[in-house]
A and B are shown apart, each in its own frame.
Chain A
């Protein structure tokens, strides 16, 4: 069955780089897109970016200068890297097979 699972550090220091991994099963990355969505504590959902089945990417323009999304199809993994982290980047980060299946999310706190 379709599953997505996010992993990564729970705590990142300000100005450092966040690296998250989304490991998927039950579907192929070469046939489906995977998106990242984040949710600051107590706030709404924010679309972060996406990697499409062909490998191209789209990013939230507000984050584009700090953001990179890539994948390893052989490992069924999608990666998010965001640099120059600030406290405002504290959020739950979800990966989703565009719309229908979502991971449980990983809480990332930016703090010294």
Chain B
């Protein structure tokens, strides 16, 4: 089974900073990944699909990139409301494995 490894596990960033988090697949998944944001007590929210497509209504400070095995979610000019967990997921072919998540804290 393909394993999705996210790094770092957590980060603490100031408002206005740029943040980059990573997702590495153990095998080539082409562009078949999605990124989600989950805040405490809420369901995950889709941010990015097929590696780089921003979902409806997602602010353009969120950008996804990558192909094959290495993927990145970048948040430009982080806002206080971006404090959350972020998960990547393989979205083509079972199993639709999630990464273990990155916790983003705002200083």
Please determine whether A60 and B95 come into contact, CB atoms closer than 8 angstroms.
yes
A105 proximity list for chain B (CB < 8 A): 43
A13 CB to nearest chain B CB (Å): 26
Q: How far is the CA of A102 from the CA of B45 in the complex (A)?
A: 8
Please determine whether A50 and B96 come into contact, CB atoms closer than 8 angstroms.
yes
What is the interface residue range for chain A against chain B? 20 to 34
B34 proximity list for chain A (CB < 8 A): 99
B101 proximity list for chain A (CB < 8 A): 44-45
Please tell me which one of the listed residues B1, B46, B87 contacts residue A45 in the complex, with CB atoms under 8 A apart. Answer: B87
Dominant secondary structure at the B interface: loop
Please determine whether B43 and A47 come into contact, CB atoms closer than 8 angstroms.
no
Q: A102-B44, A103-B43 are in contact. Are A47 and B91 (CB under 8 A)?
A: no
Q: Which B41-73 residues sit within 8 Å CB-CB of chain A?
A: 43-46, 49, 55
Please determine whether B95 and A61 come into contact, CB atoms closer than 8 angstroms.
yes
Please determine whether B91 and A99 come into contact, CB atoms closer than 8 angstroms.
yes
Q: A99-B34, A99-B46, A99-B49 are in contact. Are A44 and B95 (CB under 8 A)?
A: no
Q: How far is the CA of A58 from the CA of B93 in the complex (A)?
A: 9
